[in-house]
Amino acid sequence: MEDRNKLAFGRKNYLLMLATIGALMLGFILMSLDTETYGFGFLGLTLGPLLLVIGFALGFFAILVKDKPAE
């Protein structure tokens, strides 16, 4: 009989998803802090979007990674 209490993801997946949310929040905050006109400074064009790409890649990795089953 199958185990009905087993969660879809393991602890590792949830921790990576929290890191994903943190990276995405930091990326959007950094883009909003840019003081250049229309956000054309370093924070708005380089660092913020780079953190967003890293955050989304980490999110896909967090979904796809297989956690070791607890014994």
Domain boundaries, the chain: 11-64
pLDDT of residue 5: 64
- Are the C-beta atoms of residues 15 and 50 closer than 8 Å to each other? no
pLDDT of residue 39: 85
One digit per residue, the tens of pLDDT, for the chain of length 71 reads 566 667 788 899 999 999 999 999 999 999 999 999 888 999 999 999 999 999 999 999 999 998 776 55
23: left (phi over 0), alpha (psi -120 to 50) or beta: alpha
